[in-house]
Amino acid sequence: MSRSHVVMEARHALPPTQVVVERTPGAEALGARLIAISACSGCHGTDLTGGPLRVFGTQVYTPNLTRLGALSDADIDRALRAGLRPDGTSELVMPAHAYRAFTDDEIAAIITRLRALPRQGVEPPKPRPGLLLRAALVVGALQAEPEKVSAARPPLDAGAPTAAGRHLAAIACGRCHGTDLGGIRDVGPDMTVRGYYSRAKFHALIQKGDAIGEGNMALMTQTAQANFSHFSDAEVDAIYDYLDTRDRILVARAALAKRR
């Protein structure tokens, strides 16, 4: 049996879930916003019916999120935050390592919204991993999602006054900038704002896609216009306040380390 097959077929313990779904209009509205700002449409399409992705030379299809009737609420929660299928095997490209920051209530709201979507489209074909994808699993260039979840580090805790902004940054930015917001090589840089973005420029970045600096600026612009534009001004301010405070703490820590 190949190493890649072992990774793909490994069974992981299913974590308990405390999600209680209450299908109310308020929950559905919150779920719709969370789906928007967390950029689910980037992989599942604007109508959330799924679509093709190229992963290390293999074309895989993301699930049709309007056809989740066979999955329990717990199944959906585990896919979102643990990267696990109902049988305990790993999801292939689901960014659960970033979405693990969602709260129980937020996951419940997302499920409420997904359950309310009208069924459309078709069931996607099952992936047939190619040689390059299998090789990536063997050498670690592509990790099983449960491994990413276990290794994920949360963003720096900058205190209660900036907790809301920290949470929003974690669920919206962790996919491209790392769960600790420290950056991912060739994808997204460390989320430093001091010296790069004033508050006004940060608003333009998040709500219009006016990006500067390094990393995949085209992806940032596209994501901002399609997804982050759903943030309110107050939410953008909260994220900026957190990132600015985070910068100050990291600079102070670096200066202290130099003096030692």
Write out pLDDT tens, residues 108-133.
999 999 999 999 999 888 878 888 88
Write out pLDDT tens, residues 198-257.
999 999 999 999 987 665 688 889 999 999 999 999 999 999 999 999 999 999 999 998
Model pLDDT, residue 215: 58
Domains of the chain: 3-143 (1.10.760.10), 160-259 (1.10.760)
C-beta atoms surrounding 124 within 10 Å: 17
What is the token pair recorded at 51?
A: 């679509």
What pTM value is reported for the model?
Answer: 0.91
What is the token pair recorded at 244?
A: 């600015």
Element (H, E) at 207: helix 199-208
Does the pLDDT value for residue 153 go beyond 80? yes
Q: What is the CA radius of gyration of the chain?
A: 19
Model pLDDT, residue 9: 87
Q: Which long-range contacts (CB under 8 A, 24 or more apart) does 223-228 make?
A: 223/39, 223/42, 223/176, 226/39, 226/41, 226/42, 227/36, 227/37, 227/38, 227/39, 227/41, 227/42, 227/172, 228/37, 228/172
Average pLDDT on 64-76 reads: 95
